[in-house]
């Protein structure tokens, strides 16, 4: 059986490596990268570069273009990733109940 402390140590190392991939050092301080190039954006949203190219040509993903190079803002990618949230049954039921309450309020 594997030592649980080794598992925790391995997971912490993985987290550290992921953070290093997203962050860069600047004069000894750590700065989170706000603008991604194509490769970084593809890694960030877990899509291939060709899928990102297709989405940019269809104007389905927010991006910027400088000459022939594509750039992406992290905050806009975050919004894009979360904008098509699937509504849970509980949320739908709450919306329906709220609608019924509002609708019945105006009946005479």
Q: Where are the domains of the chain?
A: 1-32
Say what the pTM is.
0.56
Q: Is the pLDDT of residue 98 over 80?
A: yes
pLDDT tens across 5-32, in order?
888 988 998 888 877 766 666 555 666 6
Question: What kind and span of H or E run contains 2?
Answer: none
Three-state DSSP at 27 gives coil
Q: Is the pLDDT of residue 71 over 70?
A: yes
Q: In what order do the strands lie in the sheet with 64-66?
A: 35-37, 69-73, 64-66
Those residues whose C-beta lies under 8 Å from the C-beta of residue 43, and which sit 6 or more positions away, are 21
| Dihedral, 34, 40, 46, 47 alpha carbons, nearest 10 | 120
């Amino acid at each position: 059986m594997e030592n649980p402390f080794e598992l925790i140590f391995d997971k912490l190392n993985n987290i550290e490596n992921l953070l290093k991939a997203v962050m860069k050092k600047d004069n000894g301080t750590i700065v989170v990268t706000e603008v991604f190039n194509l490769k970084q954006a593809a890694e960030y949203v877990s899509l291939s570069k060709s899928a990102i190219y297709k989405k940019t040509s269809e104007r389905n993903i927010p991006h910027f273009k400088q000459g022939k190079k594509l750039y992406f803002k992290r905050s806009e990618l975050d919004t894009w990733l979360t904008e098509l949230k699937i509504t849970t049954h509980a949320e739908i039921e709450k919306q329906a109940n709220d609608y019924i309450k509002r609708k019945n309020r105006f009946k005479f």
